[in-house]
Each structure stands twice: as C-alpha cells, then as structure tokens.
C-alpha cells in the first residue's frame, strides 16, 4: 500500500507547516502591535498629562484595526477558494 499523500491533500505536512507559520506570524504581529500601542499610549499620556486615557485607548484602536485587517484577509482568501 502506498502511504504517501498527494501534494494537494489537506493532510500534507508542508501545508500544515505553512498554516502554522501564517498563524504564528499573525500572533506575533498582534502582540507587537498591542505592545507598541501601550508604549505609545503611556508616552503620550506622560507628555499630555492625561493619566491612563491613551494607554487604554490606543491598544483598543490597534486591536480593532487588526481584527478588521484579519477579517478582510480571511474573507478574501475564502473568496479565492470558492
């Protein structure tokens, strides 16, 4: 019996590795963007003397932007697969 899977099979190990790298990079982008939002918010709060306002607002804006980008990307990939 031949145990090799065809390259277009959903259980292809290289395909799994590609998905893993894609989602790992998305997670890294999310963490870095939120970290930068918090850092920029803290610095702007110190400069403008508005205690925790921007340190809370900027990461939420970044998070909403990332979710918008993620939804847009996944929708376009879904349309390509159909």
Residue 24's pLDDT band, with cuts at 50, 70 and 90, is confident
| Percent of the chain whose predicted confidence (pLDDT) is above 90 | 40
First to last CA, the chain: 33
Query: Taking the alpha carbons of 26, 31, 35, 38 in that order, is the dihedral positive or negative?
Result: positive
Beta strands in 1-82 (DSSP E): none
Q: Which residue has the higher pLDDT, 8 or 28?
A: 28
Say whether pLDDT at 44 is over 70: yes
Say whether pLDDT at 8 is over 50: yes
pTM: 0.67
Kindly provide the b/e burial profile for residues 44-61, where b requires at least 16 CB atoms within 10 angstroms of the residue's own CB: ebeeeeeeeebbeebbee
Say whether pLDDT at 77 is over 90: no
């Amino acid at each position: 019996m031949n145990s090799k899977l065809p390259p277009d099979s959903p259980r292809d190990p290289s395909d799994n590795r590609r998905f893993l790298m894609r989602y790992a990079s998305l997670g890294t982008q999310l963490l870095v963007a939120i970290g930068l939002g918090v850092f920029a918010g803290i610095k702007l709060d110190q400069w403008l003397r508005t205690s925790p306002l921007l340190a809370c607002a900027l990461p939420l804006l970044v998070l909403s932007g990332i979710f918008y980008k993620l939804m847009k990307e996944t929708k376009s990939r879904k349309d390509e697969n159909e």
